[in-house]
Every structure is written in C-alpha cells, then in structure tokens.
Amino acid sequence: MKKHMTRNIILMLVLDVILGIVLALYIANTGTVPAADNADTYTDGTYTASAQGYLSEVGVTVTITGGKVTNVVIDASGETPELGGKAAETLSASLLAAGSTVGVDAVSGSTMTSDAVFAAMNDCLAQAAQ
C-alpha cells in the first residue's frame, strides 16, 4: 500500500512538472501583451462633450497628451451637490486612472449623473480617436 502511494505521488509530481513546462511554452509562444500596451491611443488635444444628467447637462473635458488621457474635468454644478457633485469628484479620478469608461462603476445613488458622465466621456474619446 505504501509502495502505491509513493508511486502515485511521484507520478503526480512528474505530471505537474510536465504541465508547468507546457504552460510556460504556451505563454512564451503566444506573445501575450499586457493590457496597458493594448490601450487605445488618441490624438492629443482637449475634448469637450456633455450629456443630460438628473437635473442638468453634465460636461466633461478630457485632455489627451502623448496619446493617453492625462486629465478629466467634470462639470456637474447643476446636479444635486451631495449626490451628483460627489459623483463627479469620484468619477473624475476613476476615469483618469482607467483612461476610459471601461471598468469604471457608476456611483451609487447618482446613476443618472454617472451615466451622463460616461456618455460624455465616451463622446470625448470618440472625438479624440478620429
């Protein structure tokens, strides 16, 4: 019985090593590129767009430098300060970090303002991509 367990353990170790080698070869040959290298590049400039929020038009100004988003300014001054105003601050930092709306979540309690910001940001990026 002990002989079977030892043999099975050795067999499992050999299979683990083989699978590790196969995986390493696969990764080396597929030429995977980190996500940051796949990011879109845009034409440098400052782009502005707006979309309807909960109470007013929400403006977004995006600055592109070196093909990447370097600044995002959101004007939600016509929105409720406690909700839309706070959402604008949070979303500005999140959109700048992400460089787009991909992966950025709406702010809870400010869905309409968040959706307006996302629509305006996407419009700015579409302008920069042309």
Task: Please tell me the pTM assigned to this model.
Answer: 0.68
Q: What's the pLDDT score for residue 40?
A: 59
pLDDT in tens, 3-62: 777 888 888 888 888 988 887 777 777 655 444 444 557 899 999 999 999 999 999 999
What are the CB-based long-range contacts (under 8 Å, 24+) for 32-40?
39/68, 39/99, 39/100, 40/100, 40/125, 40/129
3-state secondary structure of 117: helix
Top CATH class of 38-129 equals alpha beta
**Angle (nearest 5°) at CA 51 between 49 and 56:** 120
**Nearest alpha carbon to residue 116 among 80, 71, 84:** 84
Q: What's the pLDDT score for residue 69?
A: 92
